[in-house]
Structure 1
Amino acid sequence: MMSGFDWQSAAVASATVIAWIVIGTGLLQILLYLIQLVFAGISLAQRPPIVRSSLLWQRYANRAPPIAVLAPAFNEEVTIVESVTSLLALHYPEFEVVVINDGSKDGTLQRLIDHFDVHPIDRYYDRTVGHQPIRGLYANPRLPRLLVVDKENGGKSDALNAGINVARAPLFCSIDADSLLESDALLRAVRPFVEEPDRMVAVGGTIRLANGSRIEGGRVREVCLPRNFLALVQIVEYLRAFLMARLALSRLQVLTVISGAFGLFRRRLVLEVGGYSHGTVGEDMELVVKLHRHMRELKRPYRIDFIPEPVCWTEAPEDLTILGRQRARWQRGSLETFVKHRDMLFNPKFGRIGFLGFGQVLVVDVMGPIIEVVGYVLIPLLWAVGLLAVDYLLAFLAVTFTFGIFISVATLILEEVELRRFPKARDLAILTFVAVAENFGYRQISNFWRLRGVWQFLRKQQGWGTMTRKGFQSAS
């Protein structure tokens, strides 16, 4: 006669397996972060000293290729004049600012017409990549560096494609119309293209948050911390994402994302891959992956770099609803790109980008939020009902909190040692406190937002949602 099935032993074994999966995935993420931290530290330590803008001009002005700055705008009435004023004041030898009004429903276009006195013009442009129809081009002879494109609404990628077609320069810089570039940002970002013209495909720069800082005339005149906690915690997140992750991935030549808020690309190669793809909210990541794929398939040597010195300032959401919507959209964009190019994962044909680049996306973006939320819910519950030993609970807490705090604080140390963008000791003390506090509540909420992004992806939900902004004047 068969003995009865031992349900208690089976439940304990199942709980142990779940715990090991959660803890193991967490440890794998931590290992990736530690590797990134080491390579970021090496990159910062070995980089040449930050050169003054005047010296940069002497070295590169005569060799720097023309750049078209593409600024797609949808319902940016609040910030558009400040942003365009900032762009027109960039310190660069030859550039054109192309503002693409993507069928805004507010007064974005009229604000541009009224403030910059632009009028309809005729101008030839390519139709190499597809986009919604252009309704008109506007310019002012007294502002030869400004071109306004008015087109039917098609989304950010569609607007950027229109800008690429209209542009005439060999390089283009994609930015968000609600962002402010530092005056020498283009000159710093173009340096890799000047030094390695045959290999350089794309370059990304640092995104910093302008919330709380004093802004005058389209420039950040004084870096100050915001009083809003959500904005503060995003400063730590951005430091971790750019100063640690992207710098390290660039060093390894497996960078899969150049932020849509500030990236410099070789126009010819972007046209070869068909421009920005439609039907995705992660168009910035998807373009970079397409460029990797294209160059690997052609077996041509290339580089896609991130350099920390050129800085673009943007406004972070200070509302939980808007921030949650943004993070869910970012997660959805990562999943869309990963699934579309999933054949690159661990594929020897694509070299290190297939193993390291896509492996990192798999662990951090695809598996990360799901496994971590499962851990939040199940591990304390399984321990509470006696199915899991206290050792597993303590290991989970160590992975979730201790290592999270260590990575954030270590990134702040890198910032202070190498870049020193925050001149006040008080600011660093506040950010250190935030780096600790974010692990107790905010990190968990953020993962639930990302899980919502997973659900939206599975339902094939499209659209960006409404992103309400205060405008840069209120930040001063």
Structure 2
Amino acid sequence: MYMVLQSLRTVVEIFSQVIFFYTIAIILIMMILMVFAIKQIRKTHLLDFEEPYNEHLRSEFTKPISILVPGKNEETGIVNTVRSLLAIDYPEFEIIVINDGSTDSTLQTMVDAFDLQPITSYYRKRLASKPVKQVYQSRIYPHLFLMDKESGGKADALNAGMNLAQYPFFCSLDADSIVERTAFIKIMKPIIDSDDDIVASGGSVRIANDCVIERGELKSVALSKNKVVVHQVIEYLRDFLFGRIGFGSRNLLLIVSGAFGVFSKEYCITIGGYRTNTVGEDMDLVVRLHRYIKENKLNKKIAYIPEPVCWTEAPETLDVLRRQRNRWYRGLFESLWHNKRMFFNPRYGKIGLISFPYYLFIELLGPLIEMLGYIIILLGPFLGGVHILYSLALFFCILLLGSMLSMFSILLEEWSFRRYEKLEDFIRLFLSSLLESFWYRPLMTFFRVEGFFQIIFKKKAWGDMKRKGVSQS
């Protein structure tokens, strides 16, 4: 018994050391990303004043765009999403809603709201997809189309939408999202200015719960009273303002959110479109774009623009949030696994040598190591092999890291964009960030670890997210 206990103490001490230095490494990485993010935000923030976007609204060089909105059982929010898109400030665009085998009244709701009529559509089927039943066009808005198809999943719906899209760039937009009027001209500006050097561009996604949205237009930003939603707001601010801006500024970005991203249609078709056998189709597409660019030695980039904003509905219960995070974690694993040849491969430059290791060791394995840290914190003092002060130091190091990043992201948001105009909302966000590491972060760690075991046992079910819709009328 003594030998077993002694061996357990040794193992705990070894893992304690590993976790401690792992935490230090994360702190250093986050500090570097923070510096990159601040520099990039300041650069683009000043650019807004020096080079107004209005000139692109009148320029003949502004590229037309196809907006693809895949959805299944989205009757509560799809009409207001489309209304917000019809009101955007952009010279030339088309909206293609893909009804992916809905079993509710999504189709009829759209037909009634926009006077959709069946049309005979001729398009090149360059990407495989489930059969298309019918294509509709609005008699009120000729640039609004609806594709009714058999259920095949979001990736399959986007592939079908690309077949119908007539413009060189397309935007993937979630059906429960609301975009700001200037979002598209802002997200397209770097693509226009780059002379086709940028093949994909991602924008910021913010949480719309309890914001005032009328007929698809954001009237005012408000912070939800729901604590689960508030902590998601903090999490989104931290992830988008630090991670994506920092990586995007160095062309290291592996994720463009499926909720709001613009892509070159030709490049996406060339690599085979969205992969349909993964739950992380958005990340997988970006990774394969990087892979294609490096393998063909092309001087192309994938950008992230913090200013264009898309507002989306977030889960309001822990049960729905749990299923969402399980899915995200499995999607991350599948994207890395399908493209594992890029890992530490000099052929893929910084993507293979920096981005891939980061997403593997920090994003994928991080939750497992963090969970192990929590276990050691609880068991270490009782085993006697780890001094209680050491365990507490490790514990507070982890908590301090999360809270500091969250607090700084809120300050950065206030300094740069000031979306939350009420002082009360800002104070609530800041105070909530102090508590995040004590319950929300460990809970998210547990959800991701649960996703890991779902991978092990090959569980693929996600479950539906019940939506109430983000628009009041």
Distance in 2, matches of 1:117 and 1:5, equals: 78
Give the corresponding residue for 2:193: 195
In structure 2, the residue matched to 1:124 is: 122
Supply the AA of the counterpart residue of 2:404: F
1:232-247 matches, cutoff 5 A: 232-247=230-245
Structure 1 SS opposite 2:137 = strand
> Match of 2:123, SS?
coil
| 1:194-252 deviations in Å (ceiling 9; x for gaps) | 11123111000000111111111211101111100011001000001111110000012
Q: Which moved more, 1:33-42 or 1:151-160?
A: 33-42
Root-mean-square deviation (CA, aligned residues, Å) is: 1.8
- Structure 2 partner of 1:393: 391
In structure 1, the partner of 2:308 is 310
Where 1:438 maps in the other structure, the secondary structure is helix
Instruction: Give me the TM-score of the superposition, normalised by structure 2.
Output: 0.96
Which has the larger displacement, 334-343 or 7-16?
7-16
- Report the more deviating stretch, 457-466 or 38-47: 457-466
**Change beyond 3 A, Cα 1:432–1:21:** same
**What SS is found at the alignment partner of 1:49?**
helix
Distance change in 2, residues 1:463/1:128 (3 Å): farther
The alpha carbon displacement at 1:52 in A equals 7.6
Contact 2:210 2:470 in 1 (8 A): no
3-state SS of paired residue (1:208): strand
Q: 1:57 aligns with which of 48, 54, 57?
A: 54
1:440 — aligned with what? 438
Q: Pick one of 425, 428, 441 that aligns with 2:426.
A: 428
Aligned to 1:209: 207
Q: CA deviation at 1:424?
A: 2.2
Change (3 A) 1:192 1:118: same
Cα offsets for 1:120-153 (capped at 9, x unmatched): 1011112111110000000123311100000000
Distance 1:61 1:377 in 2: 59
1:347 to 345, 357, 361: 345
SS of the counterpart of 1:381? helix
Residue 472 of structure 1 aligns to a residue whose secondary structure is coil
Shift of 1:7: 5.2
Quick check: 1:13 aligned with 2:10? yes
- Secondary structure at 1:201 match in 2: strand
Please name the residue that 1:356 is paired with.
Answer: 354
Secondary structure in structure 2 of the residue aligned to 1:190:
helix
Structure 1 partner of 2:460:
462
**How much has 1:453 moved relative to structure 2?**
1.0
Deviation at 1:60, TM superposition (A): 4.6
State how far apart, in whole Å, the 2-side matches of 1:107 and 1:247 are. Answer: 39
Is the Cα contact below 8 Å between 1:61 and 1:92 reproduced in 2?
A: no
Please state whether the residue corresponding to 1:441 is helix, strand or coil.
Answer: helix
Q: Supply the distance in 2 between the matched residues of 1:270 and 1:380 (Cα, whole angstroms).
A: 48
Q: Could you tell me which residue of structure 2 aligns to residue 414 of structure 1?
A: 412
Post-superposition Cα deviations, 1:348-397, rounded to whole Å, max 9, x if no partner, equal: 00010111111110122221111111111233212123221124302321
1:370 — aligned with what?
A: 368
Q: Residue 50 of structure 1: CA displacement?
A: 6.0
Residue equivalent to 1:144? 142
* Residue identity opposite 1:309 in structure 2: E
Give the number of aligned pairs: 472
The whole-number CA distance in structure 1 between the counterparts of 2:326 and 2:188 is 32
In 1: Cα distance, 2:81 partner to 2:210 partner: 17
* Cα contact 2:201–2:302 (8 A) shared by 1: yes
1:52 and 1:180 mapped to 2: Cα distance?
25
Alignment partner, residue 451 of structure 1:
449
Name the counterpart of 1:403.
401
CA contact (8 A) 2:377 2:392 kept: no
Deviation for aligned residue 1:8: 5.3
* Structure 1: segments with no counterpart, 5+ residues: none
Say if 2:25 is the partner of 1:42: no
SS at match of 2:277: coil
The answer as to whether partners of 1:32 and 1:360 remain within 8 angstroms in 2 is no
Mapping of residues 277-296 of structure 1, within 5 Å = 277-296=275-294
Report what 1:22 is aligned to. Answer: 19
Contact 1:135 1:150 in 2 (8 A): yes
2:90 alignment partner AA: Y
Query: Which shows bigger deviation, 30-39 or 49-58?
Result: 49-58
Whichever residue aligns with residue 333 of structure 1, its letter is: G
2:332 pairs, out of 317, 334, 337, with 334
How far is 1:274 from its partner?
0.3
Q: What is the distance in 2 between the residues matched to 1:69 and 1:54?
A: 25
Counterpart CA distance in 2 for 1:339 and 1:30 is 26
2:247 pairs with 1:249: yes
Query: What is the alpha-carbon distance in structure 2 between the residues aligned to residue 127 and residue 52 of structure 1?
Result: 43
Check the 8 A contact 2:101/2:148 in 1, yes or no: yes
Matched to 2:14, the amino acid is V
Task: Name the CA shift for 1:388/1:330 in 2 (closer, same or farther; >3 Å).
Answer: same
Q: Is the 8 A contact 2:57 2:91 kept in 1?
A: no
Whole-Å Cα distance in 2 between the matches of residues 265 and 61 of structure 1?
22
Identity %: 40
What residue identity is the alignment partner of 2:360?
Answer: L
Q: How far off its partner does 1:457 sit? A: 1.7
Structure 2 counterpart of 1:93, one-letter code = P
- 1:14 positional shift: 1.7
**Alpha carbons 1:210, 1:314 under 8 Å: kept:** yes
Runs of 4 or more consecutive aligned structure 1 residues displaced over 3 Å after TM superposition: 4-11, 50-55
Matched residue, 1:275: 273
Structure 2 partner of 1:155: 153
Describe the SS at the equivalent of 2:32. Answer: helix
> Runs of 5+ in structure 2 lacking a partner?
none
The structural deviation recorded for 1:176 is: 0.2
Q: 1:228 maps to what in 2?
A: 226
